Structure 1
Amino acid sequence: MTLLFKVAGSCYKREVSPRVVDPAARRQAVAEAVFRVVVRDGVEQASLRNVAVEAGLAIGSIRHYFDSHDEMIVFAVEALIHSTEQRVLAHVRSLQDRSDPRRPAERVLSEVLPLDDRRRDEAVLWLAFVTAARTRPSLVPHAERLYDGLRSLCRRVLAVMTEAGTIAATHDVELEAERLASLLNGITVDGVLHPDRMTPELTLSLLRRHLDSLR
């Protein structure tokens, strides 16, 4: 791109390189803007215009990366799932610690509970998106992935604990995984809706009591 400008009556040329925008980084920035709007105001307020304002972009910039509002929301949900999965998987490796399998299990399962601001915001997003999936078909596969992913995590944790002898081998792991996932879901919903009552301390106490009950 060449710009002409005058200095003391003369014209000079200046070569200006167009600003290079990383599409992946821009899409991620938009997803994070979606997260902030949803946490603060709910999914209904995450319009293209509101997200553009939150991201500090023109609405045309949003449309450049996403063909529709639906595509933007779906991308944000996928980004949330990917981020959570990567963090949980990093903790899953600690399950190999056989010195006290309950503690690694507790750490892994705690990653999906609203125990601090970051995890509480993720829980708010999770609840908002899976609720929205009831009337938004494009979100259904992602809500199902979250549902199945939690149960898969619970089965893995319980299987390791069974192998280590931390819980009784007589338990039906499949059934106990469903029970544990339901407990985690319930705690998470209460933690989001009633944070003053379902405190982090109570949340951890309930999780520990449940794991102890499986011995």
Structure 2
Amino acid sequence: MPKLVDHKKRKIKIAEATWKVIVNEGLEEASVRKIAKVANISVGSLRHYFSTQSELFVFSMQLVSDRVENRAKNKSYEGTPLEAMQDFLSEFLPIDMDRRIEMEVWLVFSTKTLVDPALKELSQVVYDDMHQACSMVVERLTDLGLSSPNLDKNMEIERLYALIDGMALHGILHPDRFSAEKMQATLKYHLESLCEGV
């Protein structure tokens, strides 16, 4: 009887091999041949799942987004509303090894969006999703009556997004100077600054 192959798992395995090559050797070394070797499959098998390198990169980038989104949605949040919001936003920061790998891969792919229309389209979708997450946090602070009365919600949504994005970048590029603890402390300080009497 022929062995049944779980095609979704195989595609994820290939995407994870792509991540590994990118993190260890850089995007310029992420050839189909090298990725196939790391995934322990033939080049022909890889091309069966992804006919082009761009198609592989889009799937790999989407997998990063899906994992972050699933973790954020399925997590159990505890503590005060501010603590829960900090915990939620921390899912988008490289504060542990899994999140660091995801963010590093995402940032590498982001440079490729300048020349790859398919990656650019996906990047725009994720940008909108992240913007929505920041909007949800600011709106929640307002709904709970925690935010300062003169808060400019639209401006604060943009500022929160820029803060998260910037901290993620610095956390990847300068982990020795911008640690997970510093990211968490900065995020906590910022959220408290949006609130009245906290």
TM bucket normalised to smaller? over 0.9
| 1:137-176 to 2 correspondences below 5 Å | 137-176=117-156
Counterpart position of 2:114: 134
2:29 equivalent to 1:69: no
Q: Retained in 2: the 8 A contact 1:101–1:166?
A: no
Counterpart position of 2:93: 113
- Taking the aligned partners of 1:130 and 1:117, their CA distance within structure 2 comes to 20
**Deviation, structure 1 residue 51:** 0.5
Q: Retained in 2: the 8 A contact 1:123–1:188?
A: yes
2:25 equivalent to 1:45: no
Q: Which runs of 5+ in 2 are unaligned?
A: none
Counterpart position of 1:187: 167
**Deviation, structure 1 residue 152:** 0.6
What is the letter of the counterpart of residue 185 of structure 1? D
RMSD: 1.4
Larger radius of gyration: 1
**Deviation, structure 1 residue 145:** 1.7
Counterpart position of 2:64: 80
Query: What secondary structure sits across from 1:115 in the alignment?
Result: coil
2:41 equivalent to 1:57: yes
What is the letter of the counterpart of residue 110 of structure 2? V
What is the letter of the counterpart of residue 139 of structure 1? L
Comparing 163-172 and 122-131, the one that deviates more: 163-172
Runs of 4+ that moved beyond 4 A:
none
Counterpart position of 1:102: 82
| 1:192-211 to 2 correspondences below 5 Å | 192-211=172-191
**Deviation, structure 1 residue 212:** 1.1
Cα deviations by residue, 1:36-59 (Å, 9 ceiling, x for unpaired): 111212222221111101101111
Q: Which runs of 5+ in 1 are unaligned?
A: 1-16
Give the alignment's TM-score, normalised by structure 2.
Answer: 0.93
Give the alignment's TM-score, normalised by structure 1.
Answer: 0.86
Q: Which is bigger in relative contact order (C-alpha 8 A, separation at least 6)?
A: 2
- Taking the aligned partners of 1:134 and 1:116, their CA distance within structure 2 comes to 28
**Deviation, structure 1 residue 146:** 2.0
Q: State the aligned residue count.
A: 195
Query: What secondary structure sits across from 2:63 in the alignment?
Result: helix
Task: Report % sequence identity.
Answer: 35
- Taking the aligned partners of 2:25 and 2:160, their CA distance within structure 1 comes to 30
Counterpart position of 2:157: 177
Structure with more strand by fraction: 1
Cα deviations by residue, 1:56-101 (Å, 9 ceiling, x for unpaired): 111111011111111111111111111111111224x74xx7x721
Q: For residues 55 and 147 of structure 1, do their structure 2 counterparts lie closer, same or farther at Cα, with a shift above 3 Å needed?
A: same
- Taking the aligned partners of 1:80 and 1:119, their CA distance within structure 2 comes to 9
